[in-house]
């Protein structure tokens, strides 16, 4: 998290260059995908794309003990260009998924399309100081935020109402089950929100939490239920899987295997996945030992979007290929927006989310932090999974909430130099979300769909 913070600060100070690179990148990816489509349309039968790429079968159980675990000490001996290897995975039959989804959309309105309504009668759903599991990175009031408007907004879909939050009803849904969040620090925020939303109705002696580790478990004995968080910011096995000691400067992944993590999440009944921001910080190194039989740790470098696509496919392959996933309820939470440049919602200004006290009321507002090519890629992968995975599409609704981030009102792990302290926007966290706040609504959406 501190690394994210640092990255963000760096990113802001180099904005003109990075912004330019981003634009070029977006332009290239649009051009690239259109060209691919053209080629495929021209030669529908005689040149299937399989011929131009090497396809890899993902999630193969390791056959020899020569396979090395990735950890924060892992290094690539050599790093070359991406060789174009792709993941071979088989999606599910579209028919069954399609018709059920159509039925659902007839029955329900689009709960992700709506507006924020100020409601200090019903919100917040819990008090910050009443939640013993609150994180110091998200407890904004405790860390000096005095405007508390951010706690009082209700999400109101345009054509219907969200199911009213009810902690007892949620516990009844969770009785005898394991609910597991799998992902990065944004997902951890949603997990903490869920515990804070639910803990008050459990007597203190009936609840417990294991110490923070890769898998952290909150347990409610009287419901025989757990709410767990698995730190897996890149979903697949990587050198960043230690929640405390990880490296962000050189991310090395095994693009073809989620097995290390899936061994943990396979015990859950309800799964909530996310991944996004870790792919937005420059190229990723693909650790390719399993892709060939050479002993050397030779890596290939690939841009974040390309690497994330491989990973989403490897993840989807696991969910699609094992029948045990049929008994689970699986959700994917879309990208959480950032508010790093206030000029995107207030032309000519130079700040970020710092000192923002109200949501954006320009319907359809979309900031540069939410990458559309990534969204399209995620959509394509999820479509091929049919109804096996449900989308919690938090992106648009969270885009409006420029007021919801901790900015300077959180614990910072490093001591900040005086010149930074004198300039609050320079160290504001405009990535994570204050609690109570926006992630509570993500959980209300989850409740709505369970
Ligand atoms: C390659 O890297 C691995 C660790 O990633 C190391 O054990 C091995 O000795 C290295 N090989 C060479 C030839 O440098
Ligand atoms: C939060 O605390 C205030 C005052 O202590 C109390 O009136 C309110 O009911 C509490 N809200 C919740 C959701 O517990
Ligand atoms: C508690 O839940 C687990 C599944 O998570 C189940 O195997 C076990 O039988 C349950 N125990 C009781 C006492 O209901
Ligand atoms: C391993 O790396 C060394 C040094 O880079 C190289 O000479 C050797 O050919 C590599 N081995 C294989 C199997 O690629
Ligand atoms: C999420 O919603 C946005 C519009 O708000 C839409 O463009 C996008 O396709 C949706 N994403 C998915 C994965 O359904």
Rounded to two decimals, the pTM is 0.85
Q: Which of 141, 261, 405, 432 is catalytic?
A: 432
The CA distance from 360 to 74, in Å, is 43
- Alpha carbon dihedral 131, 133, 136, 140, in 10-degree steps, equals -30
Dist. CA 237 → ligand 1 center (Å): 19
The answer to whether residue 432 is catalytic is yes
Ligand closest to CA 66: 1
- pLDDT of 93 reads 66
The answer to whether residue 429 is catalytic is yes
Ligand closest to CA 295: 4
Q: Which two tokens stand for residue 274?
A: 């996310």
Dist. CA 178 → ligand 2 center (Å): 29
Q: 84: alpha, beta or left, given left = phi > 0 and alpha = psi -120 to 50?
A: left
Atom of ligand 5 nearest to the CA of 334: 13
| 149 touches 418 (CB < 8 A) | no
Q: Which domains does the chain have, with CATH numbers?
A: 115-124+148-339+370-396+437-449 (3.40.50)
Measuring CA to CA, how many Å separate 333 from each of 112, 175, 398, 446?
12, 23, 12, 10
Atom of ligand 2 nearest to the CA of 125: 13
Dist. CA 76 → ligand 5 center (Å): 36
Among residues 390, 350, 341, 346, which one has the least CA distance to residue 370?
341
45 lines ligand 4 (CB under 6 A): no
Q: Which two tokens stand for residue 431?
A: 């990535």
Q: Which of 185, 257, 262, 407 is catalytic?
A: 185
What is the full DSSP assignment across 338-379? Answer: ----GGGTSTT----STT--S---STT---TTS-HHHHHHHH
396 lines ligand 5 (CB under 6 A): yes
Render each residue's pLDDT in the chain as its tens digit; 450 residues. Answer: 444 444 444 444 444 444 443 433 434 333 333 333 333 333 445 544 445 678 888 998 876 655 667 888 888 878 888 888 899 988 776 555 444 554 455 456 899 999 999 999 999 999 999 999 999 999 999 999 999 999 999 999 998 999 999 999 999 999 999 999 999 999 999 999 999 999 999 999 999 999 878 999 999 999 999 999 999 999 999 989 988 887 777 888 989 999 999 999 999 999 999 999 999 987 787 876 554 444 567 888 999 999 999 999 999 999 998 778 889 999 999 999 999 999 999 999 999 999 999 999 999 999 999 999 999 999 999 999 999 999 999 999 999 999 999 999 999 988 889 998 999 999 999 999 999 999 999 999 999 999
- pLDDT of 289 reads 55
The answer to whether residue 135 is catalytic is no
HSE toward the beta carbon, residue 113, CA cutoff 13 A: 6
Atom of ligand 4 nearest to the CA of 77: 5
Atom of ligand 5 nearest to the CA of 332: 13
Assign 211 to helix, strand or coil: coil
Ligand closest to CA 176: 3
- pLDDT of 283 reads 79
Dist. CA 112 → ligand 5 center (Å): 9
Dist. CA 94 → ligand 5 center (Å): 19
């Amino acid at each position: 998290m501190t690394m994210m913070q640092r990255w963000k600060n760096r990113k802001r100070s180099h904005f003109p260059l990075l912004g330019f690179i981003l634009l070029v990148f977006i332009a290239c990816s649009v051009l690239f995908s259109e060209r691919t489509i053209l080629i495929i349309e021209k030669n529908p039968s005689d040149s299937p794309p399989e011929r131009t790429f090497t396809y890899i079968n993902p999630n193969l159980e390791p056959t020899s003990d020569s396979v090395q675990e990735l950890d924060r000490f892992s290094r690539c001996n050599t790093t070359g260009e991406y060789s174009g290897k792709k993941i071979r995975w088989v999606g599910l039959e579209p028919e069954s998924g399609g018709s059920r989804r159509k039925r659902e959309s007839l029955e329900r309105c689009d709960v992700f399309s709506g507006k924020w309504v100020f409601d200090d009668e019903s919100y917040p759903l819990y008090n910050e100081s009443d939640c013993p599991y609150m994180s110091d990175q998200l407890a904004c009031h405790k860390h000096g935020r005095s405007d508390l408007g951010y706690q009082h907004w209700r999400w109101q879909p345009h054509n219907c109402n969200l199911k009213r939050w009810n902690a007892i009803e949620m516990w009844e849904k969770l009785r005898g089950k394991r609910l597991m969040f799998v992902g990065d620090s944004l997902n951890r925020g949603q997990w903490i929100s869920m515990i804070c939303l639910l803990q008050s109705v459990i007597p203190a002696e009936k609840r417990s939490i294991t110490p923070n580790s890769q898998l952290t478990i909150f347990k409610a004995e009287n419901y025989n239920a757990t709410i767990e968080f698995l730190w897996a910011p890149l979903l697949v096995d990587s050198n960043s899987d230690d929640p405390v000691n990880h490296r962000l400067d050189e991310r090395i992944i095994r693009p073809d295997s989620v097995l290390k993590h899936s061994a943990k999440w396979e015990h859950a009944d309800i799964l909530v996945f996310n991944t996004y921001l870790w792919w937005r910080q420059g190229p990723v190194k693909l650790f390719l030992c399993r892709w060939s039989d050479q002993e050397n740790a030779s890596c290939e470098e690939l841009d974040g979007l390309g690497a994330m696509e491989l990973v989403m496919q490897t993840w989807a392959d696991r969910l699609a290929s094992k029948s045990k996933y049929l008994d689970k309820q699986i959700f994917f939470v879309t990208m959480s927006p950032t508010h790093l440049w206030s000029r995107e919602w207030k032309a000519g200004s130079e700040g970020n989310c710092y000192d923002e006290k109200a949501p954006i009321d320009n319907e359809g507002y979309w900031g540069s932090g939410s990458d559309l090519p990534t969204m399209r890629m995620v959509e394509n992968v999820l479509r091929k999974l049919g109804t096996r995975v449900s989308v919690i599409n938090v992106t648009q609704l969270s885009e409006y909430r420029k007021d919801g981030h901790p900015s300077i009102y959180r614990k910072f792990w490093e001591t900040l130099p005086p010149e930074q302290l004198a300039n609050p926007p320079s160290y504001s966290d405009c990535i994570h979300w204050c609690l109570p706040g926006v992630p509570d609504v993500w959980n209300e959406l989850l409740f709505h769909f369970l």
